[in-house]
Structure 1
Amino acid sequence: MSAAVDAGTAWTAWTAVTPVVIAPAAVTRYVRVALPQAIAPDADGGYPSLRVVDAQGGEVPFALDPERAPSAPRVLGAVDRGFVPGRFTQAVFDLGDGTAPVDTIALAIDDARRPTYFTTVAIDASDDRRHWRIVRNDAFVYRVAQDGGRGNRSIAFSPTRSRWLRVRILDGHAAFPIEGATVDRTERDAAAPRAVAADTHVHEDAAAHRTIVTIDPGGAVRPAAVAFSGARGTFARAAHVEAGDDGATWSRAGDGTIARYADGSAQLSFPFSERTARRWRVVVDNGDDAPLASVHAVLLRRGRAVVFTAVPGVAYRLLSGNDAAAAPAYDLAAELAHEPWRAAAAGTAATVPNGSFRDARPITERAPWLVTAALVAVAAVLGALALQTVRATRPS
């Protein structure tokens, strides 16, 4: 286990410290730090105990998933659309001559025609519309109608000045309803789904004709989708996701269909309503077919990030793990929403225990077994006294 880090005397109620790693070349006023999986959300998906402090324990205001002042809109209509059955839906956008660098494209999608989706997207760039280069081929766009339309339609990529952008929705089962797009220079990729690191175990329940993938992330996580890989051949199976905290009691979190068809098209992921839990399992219903060989499932969580003002040369830390803390209120989020700010991406080191943590709970809450032990001891003493009294009063 990594050595503990002392967060300071003002932070003795926080259990965990996550050091922030800022590149020496970062000279922007703000930095953006993606929250690691080790910093778990609460049951409502919030982070009330999250704090940013410097090396001396000074509190630093931050904004969680901040917005920025909107730039001049660059709304684009597709100059070319097409659908290749079994492969992808394609839309080409013209950014014009002498375009400024862009690094984000937000798709306009007809929600009435496709209310729920979770699919992979590739972005290609070209200067002449004949020679294309891939700038991103592993992005996701998704929307969950049952969860109030929650989702993400923005795709971040390396900045480009190319005139032409080509979007390919890598779902060849049916044409995808792309209506247009907006491009911008935002340097944001926080909301993109991230894989949940976890230990997995695959079990074949032959009696129930099910394949069960048990997923243990080692702590509470709040995933938004599941993606499958490894299964070969053609198939179409119903699947669902279950959540729990004790590994014995499960409740259904969402369901969908995974498939790979003879024409080459595939649907290997589906979203579900977010929920915070410690244990997960994915169940594939095989029916009367043989189980899928080498099937693998990974949960995907929505990316979250904090932005704060950083001074060059100063070390910063994220604090977490105080169930009694209330969410802080800073002015920074409102300020950022009214300025065209930029933020340098920063990373995190491993989350470690807070060396200055002091558990302020009563001893009965910290060690409830002591109450049981004390009651047992009292009962034993009372029993011994009662026995002694009976013996003393027994006739000779």
Structure 2
Amino acid sequence: MKPRLITAFMLMLAGITMSDRVGFAEFDLKKWQLWREIRIEPKPEKSGYFQVELDGQVFAGANQDLADLRVIDQTGAEIPSRIVIQKERDYLNVLGVEMIDRTLAPDGRFSFTLDLGDGVVRHNRVLLSTSAINFSRRVQIETGSDNKTWAVARADGYIFSFQPDSTVKHLGVDYPISTKRFLRITVFNQPKLKEEPIEITGAEVAIDADPEPQLVELPVSSQSRREDSKSRTTIITLDLGYPRIPSTAIDIQTGQTNFHRHIEIEGKQQLEEDPKLERLTWSPVGSGDIYQVAINGYQTRNLRIDYPETRLRYLRIKIVHHDDRAISIDKVKVFSLPRRLLFRAEPGGVYRLFYGYAAASHPRYDLERMIQYIDLAQAPLAGLGPQQGESVDHVIKSEPTERPRPGWLLGTLIAAGLVLGYLIFRLARKTVA
């Protein structure tokens, strides 16, 4: 056998012995500046998926796109993870439905039926049309399968319209998700209060609508308020405590009733301005109307304003009073769509969340394609410990100095050694001859 053949065989053998070392790039902890312990309570007795709620410290320390989030176990191994974001409610899929069986009762009740047809899918919102203005009416929603037997889905819905320019209008009523074919809508007019029946000219139903997302309340570090007599506005400034923290809604807390106010929301990433840089301005975030009415037995309210998600730390809320007195505001709550990191934990495992590496790119795991088969509602929430920014050399305490090699590799090495010895022996005999 030629010497070069033996050389090639020896190189192949060396490749086998090193395959367990160079097969995949190791996770370099020193590139990540921050980490936090993932706390799972109680300790899992079997393998399963868990979710970590991302908070202000994570948003402030991680990259804007969260591409640097990594879950690492006690051996230093990278654990596949996936960011789960609950989407905003989607009402884009709307079905126009003919109004049938219209009736007006002597007591002012106006009822009609909507037939969604065969093969009906999930629905949970009805949108009414009317040209009436300056009204507020209670609405009841009933569902049924045969247009004979009805079950009340919601009895305390309200529709209203206060101005002819349609800037203050609410004609939609939500109800629990249903798959029933028929809807019966009842609008309550009160002749005793000299209310004329309003004319409902059309109806639409939101089908396949997503359920309303469960928003997470954000902690507010500070809240200040001042009255601007010149613009007749109340200005409330909120500090969410961390930069780049997402928010998507505010809720005004007040005990005052019988008011209707317009609100404008602005945002800013920082208040302290560097005189050497260009002056930072407040950016428009959203707007809407808040109201709380209790007159002649009618009660309706809306104290929440939704807006497109923003990642600004400071929010400024302007409440426009015009010629009315300023309303008392007890508190302003801020909400966000929950962002959670999903990963699989093993019994006895110790896990940490690493972040703070600007050059990191989004990891790609099989979990991304398998997440559709995971019941997220059954994945428990895990907590996060205090943020650590020290050297990470001591973090992995139980990592072995040399990883154990599998049995098949040991057998392969023994067999390869025997073959190599035999080849060298034959080569030596030929050389002597």
Tell me the TM-score normalised to structure 2 length: 0.52
> How many positions carry a matched residue from both structures?
258
Aligned to 1:46: 65
Is this contact kept in 1: 2:250–2:305, CA < 8 A? yes
Is this contact kept in 2: 1:66–1:336, CA < 8 A? no
Superposed displacement of residue 272, structure 1: 0.7
Structure-2 change in CA distance of 1:178 and 1:246 (3 Å) = closer
Is this contact kept in 2: 1:62–1:306, CA < 8 A? yes
Which structure: greater helix fraction?
Answer: 2
CA RMSD across the alignment:
3.6
Once the two structures are superposed, the pairs formed by residues 89-238 of structure 1 within 5 Å of their partners are 108-110=124-126, 176-178=172-174, 181=177, 192-198=214-220, 199-220=222-243, 221-238=245-262
5+ residue gaps, structure 2? 1-25, 87-121, 130-150, 161-169, 180-210, 272-279, 394-433
List per-residue Cα deviations over 1:2-22 (Å, max 9, x = no partner): xxxxxx982223333232221
Aligned partner of 2:293 among 257, 261, 270: 261
Structure-2 change in CA distance of 1:343 and 1:165 (3 Å) = farther
The residue identity in structure 2 corresponding to 1:60 is I
The separation in 1 between residues aligned to 2:384 and 2:212, in whole angstroms, is: 18
Structure-2 change in CA distance of 1:197 and 1:340 (3 Å) = closer
The separation in 2 between residues aligned to 1:326 and 1:266, in whole angstroms, is: 46
Aligned to 1:281: 316
The residue identity in structure 1 corresponding to 2:38 is V
- Secondary structure of 1:214's aligned partner: strand
Structure-2 change in CA distance of 1:235 and 1:197 (3 Å) = same
Superposed displacement of residue 346, structure 1: 2.5
Is this contact kept in 2: 1:260–1:266, CA < 8 A? yes
- Secondary structure of 1:274's aligned partner: strand
Structure-2 change in CA distance of 1:21 and 1:253 (3 Å) = same
- Secondary structure of 1:40's aligned partner: helix
The residue identity in structure 2 corresponding to 1:332 is L
The separation in 1 between residues aligned to 2:212 and 2:386, in whole angstroms, is: 19
Structure-2 change in CA distance of 1:201 and 1:66 (3 Å) = closer
Aligned partner of 2:340 among 273, 286, 305: 305
Give the structure with higher Rg (CA): 2
Is this contact kept in 1: 2:39–2:385, CA < 8 A? no
- Secondary structure of 1:335's aligned partner: helix
Aligned to 1:129: none
Aligned to 2:266: 242
List per-residue Cα deviations over 1:228-266 (Å, max 9, x = no partner): 112412211100111111225201110000111123211
The residue identity in structure 1 corresponding to 2:303 is L
- Secondary structure of 1:195's aligned partner: strand
5+ residue gaps, structure 1? 1-7, 68-105, 114-163, 184-188, 359-396
Aligned partner of 1:270 among 273, 293, 305: 305
Structure-2 change in CA distance of 1:307 and 1:107 (3 Å) = farther
The residue identity in structure 2 corresponding to 1:344 is A
- Secondary structure of 1:264's aligned partner: strand
Once the two structures are superposed, the pairs formed by residues 12-27 of structure 1 within 5 Å of their partners are 12-24=30-42, 26=44, 27=46
Is this contact kept in 1: 2:50–2:382, CA < 8 A? no
Identity of aligned residues (%): 21
Is this contact kept in 2: 1:222–1:274, CA < 8 A? yes
The separation in 2 between residues aligned to 1:32 and 1:53, in whole angstroms, is: 14
Structure-2 change in CA distance of 1:25 and 1:13 (3 Å) = closer
Aligned to 2:284: 252
Point out the more displaced range, 57-66 or 339-348. 339-348
Structure-2 change in CA distance of 1:287 and 1:165 (3 Å) = same
The separation in 1 between residues aligned to 2:154 and 2:43, in whole angstroms, is: 33
Aligned to 2:382: 347
The residue identity in structure 2 corresponding to 1:20 is I
- Secondary structure of 1:20's aligned partner: strand
List per-residue Cα deviations over 1:284-338 (Å, max 9, x = no partner): 1121222111342122111011211101121212222333321111110212324
The separation in 2 between residues aligned to 1:339 and 1:274, in whole angstroms, is: 26
Structure-2 change in CA distance of 1:13 and 1:336 (3 Å) = same
The separation in 2 between residues aligned to 1:321 and 1:177, in whole angstroms, is: 45
Point out the more displaced range, 338-347 or 204-213. 338-347
Structure-2 change in CA distance of 1:181 and 1:56 (3 Å) = same
Structure-2 change in CA distance of 1:9 and 1:329 (3 Å) = closer
Point out the more displaced range, 348-357 or 206-215. 348-357
Structure-2 change in CA distance of 1:216 and 1:327 (3 Å) = same
The separation in 2 between residues aligned to 1:25 and 1:190, in whole angstroms, is: 32
The separation in 2 between residues aligned to 1:310 and 1:31, in whole angstroms, is: 7
- Secondary structure of 1:265's aligned partner: strand
Structure-2 change in CA distance of 1:44 and 1:269 (3 Å) = farther
- Secondary structure of 1:337's aligned partner: helix
The separation in 2 between residues aligned to 1:190 and 1:333, in whole angstroms, is: 24
